[in-house]
Structure 1
Amino acid sequence: MSSPVKIPFKSVIRIDRSLDRPVYLQVAHQMINAIQRGVLLDGVQLPGTRSLSEDLEVHRKTIIAAYDELDAQGWTEIRPNKGTFVRNKAPQESIPLNLLNKKPTGNTVSPGKKQDQYNEQFLNSYPAKTGYGFKQSILLDVLPVNASAGLEFNDGLPDIRLLPLERLSKVYGGILKSKTNYRHFGYSHVEGNEHYRETLALYLNNTRGLHINKNNILTTRGIHMSIYMASSMLIEPGDLVIVGDLSYYLANMCFQQCGGKIISVPVDQDGISVEAIRELCKRKKIRMLYLTPHHHYPTTVTLSAERRIELLQLAATYGFIILEDDYDYDFHYNGNSVLPLASADTSGMVVYIGSFCKSLAPGFRSGYLIAPENLIVEMAKFRRLVDRQGDMLMEQALAELLEEREIQRHLKKAVKIYQERRDTFAALLQDQLGAELTFVSPPGGLSVWTHWNPKLNLMRISKNCMKRNLHLPQELLYQNDSFTAMRLGFGNLTIAELEEAVQILTLAVKES
């Protein structure tokens, strides 16, 4: 049995006083780590508190607190009149003490560095890889990277500076203080906050022409969660899913992750090609059609009313699901927006998804999925596996903001600001870069789809922008043998910021 004298505790325990963690916990946790790794074996006697405090140059009370922590967690036992001993019944492979005490010879590293190497190898390390195999996917290898500073052309996100944060904070704070809302602090077995679903149903019926009630709504954490849940529930391996060419890359990843096979069809100035879909239906069994009809992603075109009717008829005839993504519905500048397909669906073929993540800010992870009640019941069961009930408190706050028409007032003001920014952005692009690109000013949304001179290298332009502190993410660049295009979000930038960003972009293009 090793005595405490033989254990070089200065090599086992390293104290870092710059950490927020109390010193006694640092001592206790590193001792536990040493026990788990076999440095301190079961039955080893630990030194007395006075002796160890002198060795580690800490106050004796610190060691007493560390020993109390070890005893409370069951890692040690106190034997009357004998001392404190390690208690660990798990089989261990001990680390030889001579590894700790071995003196350097020849060209070996210094004792200080050797101690650091020891601690890194045996005490403070965490496995770099699993000891078991698991399924890996290349689908998510390339994901958006947020800019840490400076200006950014993003994917069409809103300007969070426009949010009515003061009113939102008051509403949310009031909910936390109100005893009537204590019920939302516990678990729930419904498809989301009932009051919110009732209020949301009324809001969607008034703004989107839907004909739903609370039982047709499942609340989610945003568009992506809705897409993933719909894919997981409705797509089997090998099912064919139609998307536009081009289409939303994250949605495509969800379909592929669930085993779906993607078929892309052309998109023109009136939206996705109905004729191409009709021809596919005649030859193949189609399971799902994914659409962002209000402002197609990424080209921003609006699906015409005529094509919407035709798609509903095709879905009823051939039995495929229409997954309608309510992308940018709230941001329309040229008159009234076109109603979603779900508003005219009489055959139960449309699953409609939307969120407040774009209407307010991406940080408000509040989405919704609309479908016939029998599907909502099943999807609610599935959601409980990954998100038992959603954010009941935030949903209560959103319900009150909808009832007070605070969200509606915010959107009305925001649309005017975004329209001004769109017009300014379009004028800047035309004036400074008109010789290198073409575009159509979008009727809505927070992005402009631009076609560029094919001789330009978009990745090089992005790198040149970064040198001047303008982030132009890779996922917004579309370049191959057929086209050279960028999707440039403008909603997050003020007029002054847009002027600066376009000036930087112009210089980057010239350098390319």
Structure 2
Amino acid sequence: MWPLDRGSKKPLFEQIVDEIERRISYGEFPPGSLLPSERKLAEQLGVNRSTVVLAYAELRALGMIESQTGSGTRVTKHKWGITPKHTPNWHRYVEGGSFLPNLPFLRRIREALQKNKALIDFASGELGADLSPVKEINTLMDENHYTEYLGYDNPQGFVPLRQALVAYLEHYRGIQTTESSILITSGSQQSLYLITQCLLAPGDAVAIEDPSYCYSLPMFQSAGLRLFRLPVDDKGVRPEEIRSLYKKHRIKMVFLNPNYQNPTGTVLDPERRVELLHIASELGLPIVEDDPFSLTDYHGTPPQPLKSADSIGSILYIGSFSKIAASGLRVGWMVAPHSVVERLADARQQMDFGLSVVPQKVAAQFLNSFYFRPHLDRLRMDLLYKRDLLIEALQKELPDLVSFSVPQGGLHLWCKIGTEVNDHKLLEEAIRNGMIYVPGSVYGSDSGYVRFTFARPKAADIPLGVSKFAAALRTVLG
């Protein structure tokens, strides 16, 4: 919502009238579009409802809006003039697109965070400013002035970055590859989007973990894919389930996050890894391995990716800087057979003509700098500290109501509430209390699960945030 100038001599209701009139004239509120209710707009603007009632009355007198019982308040559909003018039915277009919107819970979380910057944020799946290498990246940017021509770059991505990734992947992840088999993307989600749009077709069946971050991404349904679940236990997915799904539904691809899985934090068991690769080889079944969290392993000995043992090219491997450095760089990568990289690079070029070369240069310099390894060591130590703060606070505030397994890496703690609870009511009460998190049902679980991301809030805010959550839970439980 727009800010009101409370120091102005113009009354607040007139400011609201002027702003709505301006947005109607600009087409932001087209004829026929539904406006917020008086109560809702008053809440969003932080004014008394009577102020909005007065503003809406003025707009109705001007003939700009009309209200009907049961239908709400809408922008008037017809404007006066010699020739009637018809605005496109934007609502029909918005509802008719094939790319689905985010899940309602995620839209509510985004709205709450935008509205209230003071919320203690256990929802955003990224590093907080205190964990990101801000000083190091600023130093690199100060030391390296970009004087070259900033034109369109190679559609596969900035060559020096792909060269740096070849060394990085071999040293840190045990993956042997070449720069021609790497595609630079704007992050893991763009990698997944390109795969679903270019390598699969509507009606294809794919398998995802249950629960899974993939379940929160409508891009799978937007692509017309049929989703089948692979249950995750304390050892990860069970490979025999993949064989069963293949026989029953002819699944064409499997999407996995085997190391510190999001949201559960589990690590795929070594014996299951061997069996999984054997089944993929036997069935000729591609596996998409998303590996954003491995280098956060708190003890500095991250489990190896499936890709490191992939001798026949079954694995499409996805990584990014978002969970280990800076999400704002928007730099990710995919390791795949060259023919796949070429196909996806061609599609991506149709979308945006390639990524900005500036963040790619920064990422390449950071990977090659002496700052990178100390940053990882510091990140692991700080994440471990925050994890322990969160666990200690939960054990203090909710010892009998919340259970969890302690992760050894990653940014999240997956919790089960030990009694039946309404996810919607609990989230709304938590927001009212001043904290926010992600309900587990976003990831496909039953109600009563919660994902806390402890990388985002400041360490000092973690106990307070848990206290606010505990108060919300007790209120909802009565």
- Alignment TM-score > 0.5, same fold: yes
Query: Identity percentage over the alignment?
Result: 26
Measure how far apart 1:308 and its partner are.
1.4
- Taking the TM superposition and a 5 Å limit, the aligned residue runs for 1:69-80 are none
Secondary structure at the counterpart of residue 501 of structure 1: helix
Q: 1:221 to 1:250 in 2, by over 3 A?
A: farther
- Taking the TM superposition and a 5 Å limit, the aligned residue runs for 1:9-408 are 114=62, 121=79, 127=87, 129-130=89-90, 134-136=96-98, 138=100, 140-142=102-104, 143-144=106-107, 145-146=109-110, 147=113, 148-150=116-118, 151-175=120-144, 177-179=145-147, 182-183=148-149, 185-249=150-214, 253-334=218-299, 336-408=301-373
| Residues 172 and 394, structure 1, Cα contact 8 Å, conserved in 2 | no
1:58 corresponding residue in structure 2: none
Measure, in 1, the Cα distance between the counterparts of 2:103 and 2:243. 34
Measure, in 1, the Cα distance between the counterparts of 2:444 and 2:206. 24
Measure, in 1, the Cα distance between the counterparts of 2:454 and 2:333. 26
CA-to-aligned-CA distance 1:66-102 (integer Å, 9 cap, x gap): xxxxxxxxxxxxxxxxxxxxxxxxxxxxxxxxxxxxx
Measure, in 2, the Cα distance between the counterparts of 1:282 and 1:116. 60
Measure how far apart 1:253 and its partner are.
2.5
Aligned residues: 404
CA-to-aligned-CA distance 1:131-156 (integer Å, 9 cap, x gap): 98653455535334331322121144
CA-to-aligned-CA distance 1:316-340 (integer Å, 9 cap, x gap): 1111110000131221124511111
2:460 corresponding residue in structure 1: 496
2:451 corresponding residue in structure 1: 487
1:12 corresponding residue in structure 2: none
Structure 1 unmatched runs, 5+: 1-15, 20-25, 34-108
Measure how far apart 1:486 and its partner are.
0.7
CA-to-aligned-CA distance 1:179-215 (integer Å, 9 cap, x gap): 3xx13x0122441110111011111111000001111
Secondary structure at the counterpart of residue 326 of structure 2: coil
Measure how far apart 1:255 and its partner are.
2.5
AA matched with 1:303: L
| Residues 161 and 363, structure 2, Cα contact 8 Å, conserved in 1 | yes
Q: 1:128 to 1:411 in 2, by over 3 A?
A: farther
Measure, in 2, the Cα distance between the counterparts of 1:477 and 1:191. 33
Measure, in 2, the Cα distance between the counterparts of 1:269 and 1:413. 28
More deviation, 164-173/363-372: 164-173
Secondary structure at the counterpart of residue 229 of structure 2: strand
Measure, in 1, the Cα distance between the counterparts of 2:459 and 2:90. 50
Q: 1:463 to 1:422 in 2, by over 3 A?
A: same
Q: 1:128 to 1:409 in 2, by over 3 A?
A: farther
2:473 corresponding residue in structure 1: 509
Measure how far apart 1:504 and its partner are.
1.1
| Residues 458 and 477, structure 1, Cα contact 8 Å, conserved in 2 | no
Measure, in 1, the Cα distance between the counterparts of 2:452 and 2:350. 37
| Residues 478 and 484, structure 1, Cα contact 8 Å, conserved in 2 | no
AA matched with 1:358: K
Q: 1:408 to 1:365 in 2, by over 3 A?
A: same
Measure, in 1, the Cα distance between the counterparts of 2:456 and 2:234. 26
| Residues 440 and 450, structure 2, Cα contact 8 Å, conserved in 1 | no
Bigger relative contact order, structure 1 or 2 (CA pairs below 8 A, ≥6 apart): 2
Q: 1:460 to 1:140 in 2, by over 3 A?
A: closer
Q: 1:347 to 1:275 in 2, by over 3 A?
A: same
Measure, in 1, the Cα distance between the counterparts of 2:162 and 2:430. 44
Structure 2 unmatched runs, 5+: 1-14, 28-56, 66-75
Measure, in 2, the Cα distance between the counterparts of 1:296 and 1:110. 54
Measure, in 2, the Cα distance between the counterparts of 1:266 and 1:354. 23
2:434 corresponding residue in structure 1: 469
2:7 corresponding residue in structure 1: none
Measure how far apart 1:238 and its partner are.
1.9
* TM-score between the two structures when normalised by the length of structure 1: 0.72
CA-to-aligned-CA distance 1:273-310 (integer Å, 9 cap, x gap): 11211222334422100001002222111111211121
Measure, in 1, the Cα distance between the counterparts of 2:441 and 2:141. 35
Q: 1:510 to 1:483 in 2, by over 3 A?
A: closer
Measure how far apart 1:411 and its partner are.
1.9
2:51 corresponding residue in structure 1: none
Measure, in 2, the Cα distance between the counterparts of 1:479 and 1:251. 8
Q: 1:506 to 1:493 in 2, by over 3 A?
A: same
| Residues 479 and 485, structure 1, Cα contact 8 Å, conserved in 2 | no
CA-to-aligned-CA distance 1:317-366 (integer Å, 9 cap, x gap): 11111000013122112451111111111111110111101212322211
Measure, in 2, the Cα distance between the counterparts of 1:352 and 1:267. 20
Q: 1:406 to 1:365 in 2, by over 3 A?
A: same
Measure, in 2, the Cα distance between the counterparts of 1:463 and 1:397. 40
* TM-score between the two structures when normalised by the length of structure 2: 0.77
Give the superposed CA RMSD: 3.2
AA matched with 1:149: K
| Residues 437 and 452, structure 1, Cα contact 8 Å, conserved in 2 | yes
CA-to-aligned-CA distance 1:143-175 (integer Å, 9 cap, x gap): 343313221211442112332323312323444
AA matched with 2:430: C
Q: 1:353 to 1:389 in 2, by over 3 A?
A: same
1:53 corresponding residue in structure 2: none
Secondary structure at the counterpart of residue 266 of structure 1: strand
Measure, in 2, the Cα distance between the counterparts of 1:470 and 1:293. 30
1:36 corresponding residue in structure 2: none
Measure, in 1, the Cα distance between the counterparts of 2:390 and 2:64. 55
| Residues 324 and 341, structure 1, Cα contact 8 Å, conserved in 2 | yes
Match 1:413 to one of 355, 371, 378: 378
